[in-house]
Chains A and B, each alone.
Chain A
């Protein structure tokens, strides 16, 4: 176990390009164990790119900077190695995989992670026992397990499925990319409860969002504004409320005049 002083995640001077476009432009962010950070910002500010880059998505060039997770440099790791180390990305648009059922994927993922950590793999019976409660918590019907991953799911079902996976995989760091988008009030509550139930001093979270709605239900410790590829303002949760009322323009003006 790392000491308390080691941050969960440390991003230093991160520069990221996609093709000819510079998307992240010297981003710095440190996240301690047990902290929940919200990253807000206008469309196209690079929020989703940050989440994808942390999870190891291909197609981005990291031109400068470093990212350490629990003291380990992760930029050279494959996506599965990051996942096995405890990074979980709840996708903004969860991917459909026809013919592969939910239970199968989740069990394979859980066992791959357990194996990587040197823990014994679960058999079907143990697995079912494990996820039964999680499904109840997310109000997911049991026939859901035999359906193909996200195929033919409603937007709300997809998002609940992401949180179900998170509950089951128990990551150290959860990146939730616009998990609140496309949810009605009831579904948002279920999702928020799922997220809150995972909060503990050993686990950190990054909530990427551009609405304050989710932050009413999952209270962040810190709120950051991402604009032009870097964090331009940080504060506590009152900042989120201010952004919700006043939009993003004033932040950008403030940055420009500074």
Chain B
């Protein structure tokens, strides 16, 4: 326990020292959190008055809250006063100047994942100006989006340039009172993305493509807001299969999605933050609140996630199915290896008539990891003819790990129909033998079977990521069997 605590302190400490050594303390607020710090963050970002006030209200509420303890995870206490809550984007001066300076192990991983060559430099944190190609590609994308009327920018830019949209939708899905980590995020959020798709517009590209190339250092308290106006359609992918360099241990992001009438949002996540080493030292704490509001009739929100990273994951991408005939989907692969702990799942709140939801969750535990699915399906009395189908499977690789399933199913409507199925088992000896009899090495056989187990989820990912996700799975489970 105490060593882990030391690690946290150490990490914070290192960052602190780093700030002085590189002499950019002007743009780094000292550790600690109070109203002045929040005013300072807001001022640095030139935020409109309403946003400053909103942050302060969130902060005051956060002070009254206690950190949740119900999740099936254990970690040493976080000292919220030891965290620095504002750092300006890093300059390129201390970044590696070319791929030659990057850790060869990281490059090896990129290779295994099949990351295109031109993206590797950026992912490895090589100084941005060096990557000429990507920048020009990004500019082309930006023009194309503007032509379609799609607003896609950083949250900070949105707060300055589209304050009316931000004011209207911010906190309308995840209010700052929602939970401890959401309140903290609302008070101190660093940056994130903002997307607005106007009525009737089909976003001309996967925002994933753009995002991958333009991935900014969004910081540890990311805030994302995606609004799909009536009849619009957007597909967004965050994260990356490549391991991201990040020195912040605590991540508390909030993602809000709003789908108005006939709109559709597809939100895909590939999360591969540093999971800690093989002994369970270090690694990211990933405490995320993600929620989508199917506000209009016939709207649809679909979450797909592939979670392989982080030491601790606490994450329940949810759908509030308010609109008549609205549809919520959740497809998840969560892998926990070594000493990782994941408590993840979804909530489907059915309010609108004839709303439908599907949950497909595949959990894989290996090493000493603990992997829990936690899900809520709630049918309100108004949700006539609502439907939910849940399939929740866990695969165990090794006898020291745990796989847990905690579904909450609540129905208050007679005409609703809910079906939930779950299984937990180890990888089948018969399947392994069959593949090996056909000539496959044991590790390849395991990878093939595990990928098959996750197939229903992978096929929901944007095409170009599906293959990477499979490779990611194999890399994450290296050494888990045999």
**In-complex A–B contact (CB below 8 Å):** yes
CB distance from A157 to the nearest CB of B (A): 16
**What's the minimum C-beta distance from A49 to chain B, rounded to whole angstroms?**
14
Residue of B nearest to A148 (CB): B452
Interface centre among B430, B433, B442, B455 (most CB of A within 10 A): B433
How far apart sit A84 and B452, CA to CA, in the bound complex (Å)? 23
Query: Across the interface, do B453 and A98 meet the contact criterion of CB distance under 8 Å?
Result: yes
> Cα distance A212–B433 when bound, in Å?
29
State how many angstroms separate the Cβ of A34 from the closest Cβ of chain B: 23
In the complex, what's the smallest C-beta–C-beta distance from B115 to chain A, in angstroms?
Answer: 22
Distance in Å: Cβ of B46 to nearest Cβ of chain A? 50
Chain A residue contacts of B63, Cβ below 8 A: none
In the complex, chain B residues whose CB is within 8 Å of the CB of A105: 435, 438, 448
Please tell me the size bucket of the interface on A: 20 to 34
Task: Give chain B nearest CB distance to A51 CB in angstroms.
Answer: 10
Q: Kindly state the separation between the CA atoms of A96 and B430 in the bound complex, as whole angstroms.
A: 9
From A91, A108, A116, contact of B448 by CB (8 A): A108
A83 to chain B, nearest CB (A): 4
**B238 close to A (CB within 8 Å):** no
Known interface pairs A58-B433, A97-B449, A99-B456; A112-B442 also in contact (CB < 8 Å): no
Interface string of A151-188 (1 = CB under 8 A from B): 00000000000000100010000000000000000000
| A155 vs chain B, min Cβ distance (A) | 16
Point out the residue from A104, A109, A149 that lies within 8 Å of B439, measured CB to CB.
A109
With contact pairs A58-B429, A95-B431 given, residues A83 and B437 touching in the complex (Cβ less than 8 Å): yes
**Inter-chain contacts of A108 with B (CB < 8 A):** 440, 444, 448
Give the docked Cα–Cα distance between A96 and B445 (Å): 14
Interface residue B202 (Cβ < 8 Å from any Cβ of A): no
- Cα–Cα, bound, A109→B440 (Å): 6
- Point out the residues of chain B lying under 8 angstroms from A98, CB to CB: 452-453, 455
**A79 in contact (CB, < 8 A):** yes
- Among B430, B440, B451, the one with the most A-chain Cβ atoms within 10 Å of its Cβ is B440
In chain B, residues 443-465, which have Cβ atoms closer than 8 Å to a Cβ of chain A? Answer: 444-445, 448-449, 451-456
Instruction: Check: A57 CB closer than 8 A to any chain B CB.
Output: yes
**Residue B435 contacts which of A84, A109, A110 (CB distance < 8 angstroms)?**
A109
Q: How many residues of B contact A (CB 8 A)?
A: 24
By a CB distance below 8 angstroms, the chain A residues around B437 are 55-56, 79-80, 82-83, 88-89, 91
A209 within 8 A of B: no
In the complex, A56 Cα to B439 Cα: how many Å? 12
B441 an interface residue at 8 Å Cβ cutoff?
Answer: yes
Q: Is B434 an interface residue (CB 8 A)?
A: yes
Q: How far is the CA of A58 from the CA of B428 in the complex (A)?
A: 13
| A128 interface hit (Cβ, 8 Å) | no
Q: B residues within 8 A CB of A83?
A: 436-439
**Contact of A80 with B431 in the complex, beta carbons under 8 Å:** no
A165 contacts across to B, CB distance below 8 A: 438
Q: Which residues of B contact A96 (CB under 8 A)?
A: 431
Query: A94 at the A/B interface (Cβ < 8 Å)?
Result: yes
Residues of B within 8 A of A84 (CB): 439
Tell yes or no: A78 within 8 A of B by CB: yes
Set B433, B436, B441, B449: member contacting A100, Cβ < 8 A? B449
Residues of A within 8 A of B434 (CB): 91, 94-95, 97
When chains A and B are docked, how far (Å) is the Cα of A88 from the Cα of B434? 10
Measured between beta carbons, the chain B residues less than 8 angstroms from A79 are 433, 436-437
Confirm or deny: A204 has a beta carbon within 8 angstroms of a beta carbon on chain B.
no
In A42-81, the 8 Å CB interface with B consists of 55-58, 78-80
CB contacts (< 8 Å) of A99 on chain B: these are 451-456
Return chain A residues, CB-CB under 8 Å to B448.
97, 100, 104-105, 108
Decide yes or no: A97 and B431 within 8 Å by CB, A78-B436, A105-B448, A148-B452 being known contacts.
yes
Contact indicator B439/A80 (Cβ below 8 Å): yes
From residue 11 to 44 of chain A, which have CB atoms closer than 8 A to chain B?
none
Bound complex: CA A79 to CA B440 (Å): 9
Q: How far is the CA of A105 from the CA of B440 in the complex (A)?
A: 9
Say how far A175's CB is from chain B's closest CB, in angstroms: 10
Assembly CA distance A58 to B434 (angstroms): 12
The answer to whether B449 and A112 have CB atoms under 8 Å apart is no
**Bound-state Cα–Cα, A89 to B449, Å:** 19
Query: Knowing A57-B433, A58-B429, A79-B433 touch, does A100 contact B451 (C-beta < 8 A)?
Result: yes
Contact call A109/B453, Cβ cutoff below 8 A: no
| B-chain residues with CB within 8 Å of residue A78 when the two chains form the complex | 436, 442
Collect the chain B residues with CB atoms within 8 Å of residue A97's CB.
431, 434-435, 448-449, 452
Contact A95 B430 (CB under 8 A): yes
Contacts A58-B433, A83-B438, A169-B439 hold; do A100 and B452 have CB atoms under 8 A apart? yes
CB distance from B433 to the nearest CB of A (A): 6
A112 in contact with B430 (CB, 8 Å) = no
Q: Quick one: closest A residue to B435, CB to CB?
A: A105
Q: How far is the CA of A109 from the CA of B448 in the complex (A)?
A: 11
Q: In the complex, which of the residues A80, A82, A95 contacts B441, with contact meaning CB atoms closer than 8 Å? A: A80
Residue of A nearest to B438 (CB): A109
**Residues on B with beta carbons closer than 8 Å to the beta carbon of A110:** 439
Within 8 A of B (CB), among A86-121: 88-89, 91, 94-100, 104-106, 108-110, 112-113, 116
**Cα-based distance from A151 to B131 in the complex (angstroms):** 47
Across the interface, name the chain B residue whose C-beta is closest to A94. Answer: B434
Give chain A residues whose Cβ lies under 8 Å from the Cβ of B438.
83, 105-106, 109, 112, 165, 169
Measured in the bound complex, the distance between the Cα atoms of B453 and A112 in whole Å is 22
* Most chain B CB neighbours (cut-off 10 Å) among A55, A98, A100, A113: A100
A53 to B436, CA, bound (A): 14
A99 to B470, CA, bound (A): 12
Q: Is the pair B444, A112 in contact by a Cβ cutoff of 8 Å?
A: yes
| Residues in A whose Cβ lies below 8 Å from that of B453 | 98-99
A-B residue pairs in contact (CB < 8 Å), sample of 30: A56-B436, A78-B442, A79-B436, A80-B437, A80-B439, A80-B441, A80-B442, A80-B445, A82-B437, A83-B436, A91-B434, A95-B431, A96-B431, A97-B434, A97-B448, A98-B453, A99-B451, A100-B451, A100-B452, A106-B438, A109-B435, A109-B438, A109-B439, A112-B440, A112-B441, A112-B444, A113-B439, A148-B452, A165-B438, A169-B439
Nearest 7 A/B pairs, CB to CB: A99-B452, A99-B455, A100-B452, A109-B438, A79-B436, A83-B439, A95-B434
Given contacts A80-B441, A97-B435, A109-B439, 7 further A-B contacts (CB under 8 A): A55-B433, A80-B436, A98-B453, A99-B452, A108-B440, A112-B441, A149-B452
